[in-house]
Amino acid sequence: MRAMSASDDWAIAVSMNATFDGYRGTTARDDARILAERLTGNVMLHGPTETFSQLMPTYSPPPEDDGLTPIDKLYGRYVPENRLIEIFVNSIHRGAQQFGWEFADLLKIVRIHEYAHAIVHIGIAIWSVEDQLSTFLPGQISTDWEPFTKNRDKAFSAVDDESHELLAQAITWGCLYQQSDHPDSQRLIDTFLALEERQPRKYRLPPEVTLRARHADWGVVLWAARGESEIGVLSAARGEINAYGSSLKLADRLASLIWVTGELPDSTEASSNSALALFVDELQRRLAKIDTATVDTATKGSNPGVIELLLLKKDHLEVRMYQEKAHQRPHFHIEYKRQFNASYGLDTCERIIGHMPKKYEAEILPLAAAMKDQLIEEWHALNGPVRITRSADR
């Protein structure tokens, strides 16, 4: 994982531990626009217009991107000067057929991605809607959108391409991961990951962003004695937050802000003799063994087939178990090496959503099955979030 000390300092300085439970708690909807608005706490009142196009865009990639299929070149685009989303449906059909994906899944991912660009451009924090709508100029009888549009056009054009794609991909990932109860959620996650592998580098999310995007404070409000001010990831991207003279590039600062604000709040450590703690201790040992089993080449030369464990290195492992209003199925969440995360049902011991390499999952599932009854009993006994963390220094 990329070292983030300097950028963490910046992110902590502007982060807020506020939540958007009231808005996120509304009835789940499947529409791309609603998903992006729910995740970010921003709504779009002044656009965008969305159209489906039968155009088949062509793309001449630089040598390093040969064979890749960037979303915003081939499948869709957001045109800020017109506040327009254009979806290239024929191109999406072709891509789905070419790579063995479902057309509906790829279409949904592309639409969320383009709405994410629009959110960055013209999204308004839900708490600020009335203030914006009440903006009048002398002699006017309706909302004046011109100053808002000019300010946002300027802010949007000032953001570099890498940061734009980081935001769009992070919002898309957060929207897909947010729908863990959706019957197609795992297939959508798998399609997103497969599509990401075929994207140029700027479209690929850093591990820390993948882990925290769905919980990040995208746009919250700091209530002050007089007035209020927006802060959050989107406000940072729009230049509404002082970056404190940081020399770091914007994409790194935004990634760090997503990481810092995406930490789940109000968690407590489970007792050391709990079923969850025993599960984590044994799981960390098993995963560490996978990571550090190496072949001693000198020994192998004289005695083929001999494998020696040279070091048992223990990486960061965190397992969370908590009750969720919208998800009553007993389950647990795993974050490993600050790079992979997934959720697993305890009733069937199978992955519900997320991404975990098969070599690790081959240890997670049998151990969960062996401790299934104890873990389910502990899950039902919980009154709040509980987690167990094991770090490399253990």
pLDDT by position in tens, the chain (length 394): 444 555 555 454 544 333 333 334 334 457 899 999 999 989 999 989 999 999 999 888 888 778 888 999 999 999 999 999 999 999 999 999 999 999 999 999 999 999 999 999 999 988 888 888 988 877 778 888 999 999 999 999 999 999 999 999 999 999 988 776 667 777 888 899 899 989 998 899 887 788 788 888 887 544 433 344 446 889 889 888 754 456 778 888 888 888 877 776 555 566 667 888 888 888 888 888 887 754 444 444 555 544 444 445 667 888 887 765 545 678 888 888 877 888 888 888 888 777 888 899 999 999 999 998 888 888 877 655 666 666 665 4
pLDDT at 308: 44
Smallest Cα–Cα separation from 104: which of 187, 28, 196? 187
> Domains of the chain: which residue ranges?
5-261, 268-390
Q: What gap in Å lies between CA 366 and CA 362, rounded to an integer?
A: 7
pLDDT at 110: 96
Residue 341, class by beta-carbon neighbours within 10 Å (0-12 exposed, 13-18 middle, 19+ buried)?
A: buried
Q: How far apart are the first and last CA of the chain?
A: 19
pLDDT at 180: 63
Integer CA distances (angstroms), 379 to 324, 330, 387, in order: 11, 6, 11
Q: List the alpha helices (DSSP H) in 181-308.
A: 185-197, 207-212, 233-237, 250-261, 275-292, 297-302
Reported as type and span, the H/E element at residue 117 is helix 103-122
Q: What is the CA radius of gyration of the chain?
A: 23
For the record, the structure tokens of 141 come out as: 């009888």
pLDDT at 265: 54
